[in-house]
Structure 1
Amino acid sequence: MNIRNQYNEALNKLDVDVSDGLRDLIKIYCMAINSFENDIVDSIALYVIDMGNKGTCRYLQEILSENKDPYLVKILMYG
């Protein structure tokens, strides 16, 4: 499945469960940051800022502790 299809499915999930939808979007962000899907990357950041909560912050911290990509860590920490 490509990134755009996963993104659309995560957006649909936001209507049902915001936390799960945001988790899926963050996973997609981690893949899309190294692709040419700039519109998806930009929109995911806006969704997380707009709809995120403390649980989202904790999940981002988990991603940061597991991830070995220094660029992604830099973006998530300071982006």
Structure 2
Amino acid sequence: MDLSICKSSISWEIRDEGGVQRGVEDILVALRTCGIDVPGATHERITDRDGPDRLRLWLPRAATATSAEELFDGS
């Protein structure tokens, strides 16, 4: 069986995009679980997918935020 696709750059891009999508979903779930409304502009900013580093910064904030805007404080 040819597994060369698993080593290709396309394969890594797909994996990276999947990880970013999961990060976005985790942030949205954390905010909603805390009872925080996620208005359209905030939702768009989160889903713009600034990259995994930004999402790793935002996730802990989402778990302790009292408003959606707190997610972006200092970022």
TM norm. shorter chain > 0.5: no
Task: State the TM-score, normalizing by the size of structure 2.
Answer: 0.29
More helix by share: 1
Task: State the TM-score, normalizing by the size of structure 1.
Answer: 0.28
Larger RCO (CA under 8 A, 6+ residues apart): 2
